[in-house]
């Protein structure tokens, strides 16, 4: 079976992260068109997308990333319990996934979605779940995303990050490419993207030092720091690992066709 191209569409790329359940439809549409070019080249594509404002805001408010708790929860809210919040977040993620896949379907692409709460358990890179489902129907684009999943023990539930799903998919399915498409920056930067002195780091090797920006008031999965940690580990198994600006979706095509683009390539060892 052909090695897949795995593409992670960041939540901050496809949604407005600070506005509840607000998609960026024009960006999603442009991404679908570029990825369609890969499909017409007979590339096997798997897409993982983030949650953005469809998951992080409610999850943060109701501490879903911490598991079962009664402390510090909202008093006046549309929900009365974490259980209600979980149901809402899972449905919101299904809605976002539908918005994304619809744009691919409009271009004639066949899509199959796998919501993690229906097949995965536990959180982190060692989550439990059979990834063979992504090998079925090779002519379709398979989609999955970050989600609230069930856990054993007293935590009962937690957030399974799309980045951790990417690691398992890339390694276990022997991916040819792992491309992280983000919003707001051309790749990994020396300083937060808002700083005028910031510069692109074109080649990232383990233990490089930089000053990242993590929206801890919104994000429940670790932001750029988790992404880099996962990307480094993936690069030990996958030859082409990149972090690029998803608002320039042609760069996804360039990585697959030419092995190079404007962005940050992640390699496992210093050259």
Residue-wise pLDDT tens digits, 4-33? 999 999 999 999 988 888 999 999 999 999
Identify the pLDDT of residue 194: 84
pLDDT digits (tens, 9 = 90+) for 42-77: 999 999 999 988 988 899 999 999 999 999 999 878
pLDDT at 222 over 80: no
- The model's confidence at residue 218, banded by pLDDT at 50, 70 and 90, is very low
Domains of the chain: 5-266 (3.40.1160.10)
Helix-, strand-, coil-residue percentages of the chain, each rounded to 5 = 35, 20, 45
Give the mean pLDDT of 132-138: 93
Residue 136, pLDDT > 70, answer yes
How far apart are alpha carbons 109 and 262 in whole angstroms? Answer: 27
Span 186-214, mean pLDDT? 82
Q: Are 250 and 37 in contact (CB under 8 A)?
A: no
Residues 6+ apart with CB under 8 A from 258: none
Tell which residue, 253, 255, 258, has the closest CA to residue 266. Answer: 255
Least confident of 2-6, 110-114, 196-200, 206-210: 206-210
């Amino acid at each position: 079976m052909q090695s897949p191209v795995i593409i992670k569409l960041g939540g901050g790329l496809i949604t407005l992260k600070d506005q509840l359940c607000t998609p960026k439809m024009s960006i999603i549409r442009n991404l679908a068109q570029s990825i369609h070019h890969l499909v017409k080249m007979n590339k096997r594509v798997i897409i993982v997308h983030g949650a953005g404002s469809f998951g992080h805001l409610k999850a943060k408010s109701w501490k879903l990333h911490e598991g079962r708790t009664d402390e510090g929860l909202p008093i006046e809210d549309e929900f009365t319990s974490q259980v209600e919040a979980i149901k809402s977040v899972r449905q919101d993620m299904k809605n976002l996934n539908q918005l994304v896949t619809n744009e691919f379907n409009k271009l004639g692409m066949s899509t199959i979605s796998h919501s993690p709460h229906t097949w995965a358990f536990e959180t982190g890179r060692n989550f439990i779940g059979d990834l063979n489902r992504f090998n079925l129907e090779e002519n379709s684009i398979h989609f999955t995303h970050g989600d609230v999943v069930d856990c054993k023990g007293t935590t009962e539930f937690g957030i399974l990050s799309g980045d951790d799903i990417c690691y398992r998919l890339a390694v276990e399915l022997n991916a040819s490419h792992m491309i992280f498409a983000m919003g707001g920056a051309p790749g990994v930067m020396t300083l937060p993207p808002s700083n005028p002195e910031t510069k692109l780091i074109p080649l990232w090797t383990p233990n490089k030092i930089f000053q990242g920006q993590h929206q801890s008031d919104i994000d429940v999965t670790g932001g750029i720091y988790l992404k880099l940690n996962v990307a480094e580990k993936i690069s030990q198994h996958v030859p082409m690992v990149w972090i690029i600006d998803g608002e320039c979706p042609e760069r996804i095509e360039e990585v697959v066709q030419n092995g190079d683009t404007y962005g940050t390539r992640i390699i496992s060892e210093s050259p």
